[in-house]
Amino acid sequence: MHNYRGVKRLAALALMVTALGAQAAVPHFAAVGERFELDGKPYVIRSGELHYARIPRAFWRERLQQVRAMGLNTVTTYVFWNMHEMEPGRFDFSGNLDLAAFIRAARDEGLQVILRPGPYVCAELDFGGFPAWLLRTPGLRVRSMDPRFLSATQRYFKRVAQEVAPLLSSRGGPILMVQVENEYGSYGDDRDYMAAMHRQLREAGFDLPLFTSDGPDPTLLDRGTLPGVTAVVNFNGGADATQEAFAQLAAFRPKVPRMSGEYWAGWFDHWGERHHKVDPAMAAQAVDWMLGQGISFNLYMAHGGTSFGWMPGANTTGTTYQPDTTSYDYDAAIDEAGRPTPKFHAIRAVIARHLAPGERLPDLPAATPTVAVPRFTLQESVPLVETLPAPLPSRLARHMEAYGQGYGFILYRKRFSGAAAGKLDLGAVRDYAHVLADGTTIATLDRRRNENATEIKLKEGSTLDVLVENMGRVNFGPHLADERKGLTRQASLAGKPLLDWDVYTLPLADLSGLRFKPGAPARSGPTFWRGRFQASGQGSTFLDMRGLGKGHVWVNGHHLGRYWRIGPQQSLFLPAPWLRAGDNEIIILDLDGAAEAPSVQGLPDPVFSTP
């Protein structure tokens, strides 16, 4: 009898252990049949895209609280390889690039996370997020089986995994799943390459659900997906377009979880084109339809933020170059300054109608205000040609990557002993050139218009300068692989090759060495201006640049980005965390060479218009 009771206890214990084991076997997050499950229960992903690197770190919590209040339960972000590994093997995950800190902040605000590490991300970002240093290696091809490229991606994936390993859903963390590559179906048809990206992610330690993301066209899905890996679709439009997109997905791969990896609730802007707006009612209609069908989604973008510095990308048709603006407002539900828009409230109202019993939306947090800054004048200047570093002698005028440079400007100088005249043919300008004779601008050449040549006439002993601005590498389509900058073909004058240049690299990463003088310069050419202004109120502002032509702005050492009179963007966002109470320094590189001291003011709202 005693032995029988012991056997019963052992049997009961075995059953309990078995039950506990079965319970432990339930993954934190999984794709199960036609749905996602979180801790074994059905889970509809209501996600919005935020890019930590496009938002000052001091604003991360505020933005995450805002998307949570909109009704989202998940935040999606790309990982920008070009920012984290600016030079081969030298990684930076500090400050505004602290990916793990951003993910922990999302978790603390009650949000799950979807991670999209690329290596290609598009995102209207320079080179689609690839580091510029990849272009220094002759013949290297991104998004291919080139072993030099695969070695670089393998190192990158391992480093990202090292940052986020404790936060993966396979370890109970908030990162639900990770994307393999990005919209590869719109680029190529190399199944070995996609399999290699999948394998590298797994080997790096991403032992959680993976997915691919492509347009819903059957050809794109066929080229961009992987067997056994969840496929999601990207699109825009109202309920009819949404229904059609998922019908195409169902025809391609039935009986799988359905999700919009990117529902384009807005759109981005190119310089010289119109400012894009998307109807809030249409976006809300699409979200309503998806939630009514139990379909997961990711709003691209929930909040776009700003492509600060040199980070905006570009598009091209092959013949027409279309550089992106600094602002990445995207007509998103939360605007560039972090303010809820009518689109925010329309989507929030729709989500509120689809909440589970007992679920309620958090209250909307107060947004950091925007303020006006009284107009001020910049009183000190120095011509760019007086700020040059030591030259690099070069037989040919080559692209900037050949000199180890990734971003900014590059200046090619040729001295003539005698007079010179004729057609100056620069071959291929990438992307905007100022041609100067003895420090004065005599012509500009714009890649958008396929301008590569101009007539010049130089007096005896003149100095010819060609200042070329990198306006952003192409980030989408088959042409992104060849986006080297500066002068990319041989230059000539009157049909004869121009050789023996002095080349000056101008990444402009540090302006502390500039030596300013009071007043305006004597010559009309690209000029740095410096001024100071007072900020009394606590808030962000938009610097009104309509009085200037084309150039860049730095405030307290932060590179805000590019301005250009052609619009549609006519102001630059200056976030509150980068403003000092009291005295602030501003430096403007005005490429058009303002005839007199420029003046600027701060506005509480952005300016979008095309003159």
The band of 26, judged by pLDDT with boundaries at 50, 70 and 90, is confident
pLDDT in tens, 471-520: 999 999 999 998 999 999 999 999 999 999 999 999 999 999 999 999 99
Q: Does domain 2-352 have CATH number 3.20.20.80?
A: yes
Residue 143 corresponds to which tokens in the numbers above?
A: 């998004």
The yes-or-no answer to whether 373-382+514-603 and 388-506 have a common fold is yes
pLDDT in tens, 374-389: 999 999 999 999 999 9
Q: Is the pLDDT of residue 23 over 50?
A: no
Give the mean model confidence (pLDDT) for residues 429-440. 96
pLDDT in tens, 253-275: 999 999 999 999 999 999 999 99
> Which secondary-structure segment (H or E) carries 159?
helix 147-164
Q: How many CA atoms lie within 13 A of 262 on its CB side?
A: 23
What is residue 524's predicted lDDT score, i.e. its pLDDT?
85
| Residue corresponding to tokens 């209501």 | 46
Q: Is the pLDDT of residue 15 over 50?
A: no
pLDDT in tens, 156-215: 999 999 999 999 999 999 999 999 999 999 999 999 999 999 999 999 999 999 999 999
Q: Is the pLDDT of residue 16 over 50?
A: no
The overall average pLDDT reported for the chain is 94
pLDDT in tens, 378-418: 999 999 999 999 999 999 999 999 999 999 999 999 999 99
Query: For residues 498 and 541, is the Cβ–Cβ distance under 8 A?
Result: no
One DSSP character per residue, 391-414 reads -EEESS--BGGGGT--SSEEEEEE
- The single-letter DSSP state of residue 513 is T
Q: Is the pLDDT of residue 21 over 70?
A: no
Q: Where are the domains of the chain?
A: 2-352, 373-382+514-603, 388-506
Catalytic residue among 262, 380, 401, 483: 262
The dihedrals phi and psi of 415, each to the nearest 5 degrees, come to -100, 135
- The single-letter DSSP state of residue 134 is G
Query: For residues 153 and 200, is the Cβ–Cβ distance under 8 A?
Result: yes
Query: For residues 485 and 448, is the Cβ–Cβ distance under 8 A?
Result: no
- The single-letter DSSP state of residue 169 is G
What is residue 611's predicted lDDT score, i.e. its pLDDT?
58
Encoded amino acid at 181, one letter: E
What is residue 7's predicted lDDT score, i.e. its pLDDT?
42
566 CB-contact burial (10 Å; exposed 0-12 / middle 13-18 / buried 19+): middle
User: What superfamily in CATH does domain 373-382+514-603 come from?
Assistant: Galactose-binding domain-like (2.60.120.260)
Give the mean model confidence (pLDDT) for residues 57-66. 98
Give the mean model confidence (pLDDT) for residues 319-344. 97
Q: Is the pLDDT of residue 153 over 70?
A: yes
Kindly give the interhelix angle for 191-204 and 147-164, rounded to the nearest 10 degrees: 30
* % of the chain residues with pLDDT over 90: 91
* % of the chain residues with pLDDT over 70: 96
Domain 388-506 carries which CATH code?
Answer: 2.60.120.260
What is residue 25's predicted lDDT score, i.e. its pLDDT?
63
The band of 11, judged by pLDDT with boundaries at 50, 70 and 90, is very low
Q: Would you call 483 a catalytic residue per the annotation?
A: no
Give the mean model confidence (pLDDT) for residues 325-329. 98
Q: Is the pLDDT of residue 3 over 70?
A: no
Query: For residues 223 and 184, is the Cβ–Cβ distance under 8 A?
Result: yes
Catalytic residue among 49, 85, 181, 183: 183
Give the integer Cα–Cα distance in Å for 118 and 153. 9
Give the mean model confidence (pLDDT) for residues 547-562. 97
